[in-house]
Amino acid sequence: MNKNNGSNHLAVLVTGGRIPFQRSMTGYRDLSAFNLSRMALEGLITKTGIKPSTIDQVIMGTVIQDVNTSNIAREAALGAGIPDTVPAYTTNMACISSNIAITSAVEQIQTGQHNVIIAGGVETMSDIPIRFKKKFRQKLLDARKYKSPTDFLKFFKGLRPSDLLPDIPSISEYSTGETMGSSCDKMAAKYGISRGEQDEYALRSHQKAAEATEKGLLEDELFPATLPPDFESILQDNTFRADSTLEKLSQLKPAFVKKYGTVTAGNSSALTDGASATLITNLQAADKHGWQPKAAFRTYTYVAQQPDEELLIGPAIAVPKVLDQMGLTLNDIDVFEFHEAFAGQILTVLKALNSKAFARERLNRPDKVGEIPMEKFNSWGGSLSLGHPFGATGARLITTAANRLHKEDGQFALIAACAAGGQGHALILERI
């Protein structure tokens, strides 16, 4: 996608936000994805004061879908009081599902199809759909044709006890059968990222999140979540470890590649529940409704490659593309917000961007992209500490980046993320 310099249909971010992220099986353990996404939409509507009737469309990203609410965007929109005349659809692009929801909204604004769109995402790992195994499912479907009680006598014919066990969704790659953590372990080894470096980075992420929370830097992006039946409120993330230390992290055993692996539970993003939402419009609509946009969407790209041991290196391929599209370098970027799936993943991406060999061999560039200054990088914490609800993280990244641009008096923000399937994404915002 090329940069958009026109003003007639310039897509802008008015604001965004999220309900506080919670480690799975904690704060939101009794709630569904519908409940979480509805609260995020209601939070955005309350924050902006938008009249639901002015919304043209709702787009939400999610990964693990509940069959009862497969179009979660539509169900959540109705639950949040958005008129039934407003269309809504759901996107799935693994960990960049809300990114594609947002850029889909951007494209519709830029082409003049719509003026006001809500885009975000949701994920719950506390309520994943667990089904029976295929052989038992087939038996259940066949049973619908039974006519008499004696027909049911043949129901268990050919079934083994193991066929009755639940079939829990796998977090491995369908194409390779390998988990993301195992792929990250291999990638970290290939690029020489040590266990110590990964633990140090993870500690940094937790410290940054704890500091940002204590200073109130995240308050502008948090919507309170109220929990039935007593309607108690959750006001902040419970995902970061303020008391984390290198000593504690170093004592954890490898989580994926046993004995010699370097990826642990401590330097990986945790299973997380949460939802996010952003308000995207054009300048004319923003002026009409009295909104002051925070940032303009300038350019973005999506990339893909073989989902092998470099499954998660996508940002290193996507970042130079958006920089070139804007005629910028890393030195022109004031705010960096990158998704942290694993410490090993993010450190590999940073190392690849600063590698001449990677530039020549993988990017067909004569020189490296450059080194990202860490004082500008994920300054308020990242997915390792704030959590990673798959479908909601992208909107968090974009919201935080825009807020940091204003807090830190910057002009350009660079957002990047990896995703399952060997995919990646990068996007540039410009402060308004």
The token pair at 356 is 């001449």
Which residue bears the tokens 């915002």?
429
Using CA atoms of 96, 126, 38, 286 in order, give the dihedral in degrees to the nearest 10. -30
Residue 324 in tokens: 């070139």
C-alpha–C-alpha distance, residues 349 and 311, integer Å = 11
Q: What is the pLDDT of residue 286?
A: 97
H-helix or E-strand spanning residue 208: helix 195-214
Instruction: Give me the torsion for CA of 404, 95, 64, 26, rounded to 10°.
Output: -50
User: Pick the catalytic residue: 101, 222, 418, 420?
Assistant: 418
The two structure tokens encoding residue 31? 């709630």
Residue 374: which residues within 8 A CB-CB, separation 6 or more? none
**Distance between CA atoms of residues 304 and 339, nearest Å:** 16
What's the rounded Cα separation, in Å, for the pair 136 and 158? Answer: 10
Q: How many CA atoms lie within 13 A of 311 on its CB side?
A: 26
Q: Which of 95, 225, 249, 349 is catalytic?
A: 95
Q: Are 428 and 328 in contact (CB under 8 A)?
A: yes
Which residue in 382, 380, 405 sits closest to 393, CA to CA? 382
Q: What does the CA dihedral 308, 314, 320, 325 come to, rounded to 10 degrees?
A: 120
Q: In sequence order, which ranges of 275-342 are alpha helices (DSSP H)?
A: 283-289, 314-326
The answer to whether 279 and 48 are in contact (CB under 8 A) is yes
Both tokens of 337, joined, read 């917000």
Q: Which two tokens stand for residue 107?
A: 């494209």
Question: What's the predicted TM-score (pTM) here?
Answer: 0.93
* Cα 212 from Cα 50, distance rounded (Å): 28
C-alpha–C-alpha distance, residues 381 and 268, integer Å: 13
Cβ contact 16:402 at 8 Å = yes
Q: Which string of b and e fits 306-329 if b means at least 16 CB within 10 Å?
A: ebebbbbbbbbbbbbbbbebbebe
Residue 107: closest CA among 93, 121, 98, 117: 117
Query: Does residue 95 have an active-site annotation?
Result: yes
The amino acid at 421: G
Annotation says 184 is catalytic: no
Look up tokens 């204590």; give the residue: 214
Q: What are the φ/ψ torsions at residue 77 (nearest 5 degrees)?
A: -60, -45
For the beta carbon of residue 233, count every other beta carbon within 10 angstroms. 9
Cβ–Cβ < 8 Å for 95, 419: yes
Radius of gyration of the chain (CA): 22
Q: For the chain, percent helix, then strand, then coil, each to nearest 5?
A: 40, 20, 40
For tokens 């099986």, the residue is 25
How many residues appear in the chain? Answer: 432
Question: Could you read off the pLDDT tens digit of each residue along the chain, which spans 432 residues?
Answer: 444 545 568 999 999 999 999 999 999 999 999 999 999 999 999 999 999 999 999 999 999 999 899 999 999 999 999 999 999 999 999 999 999 999 999 999 999 999 999 999 999 999 888 778 888 888 888 888 888 888 787 788 888 888 878 877 767 788 887 889 999 999 999 999 999 999 999 999 999 999 999 999 999 999 999 998 888 999 999 999 999 999 999 999 999 998 889 999 999 999 999 999 999 999 999 999 999 999 999 999 999 999 988 999 999 999 999 999 999 999 999 999 999 999 999 999 999 999 999 999 999 999 999 999 999 999 999 999 999 999 999 999 999 999 999 999 999 999 999 999 999 999 999 999
Distance (Å, whole) CA 229 – CA 264: 37
Q: Which residues contact 85 (CB under 8 A, 6 or more apart)?
A: none
Q: Which domains does the chain have, with CATH numbers?
A: 11-128+269-431 (3.40.47.10)
| Distance, CA of 32 to CA of 125 (rounded, Å) | 9
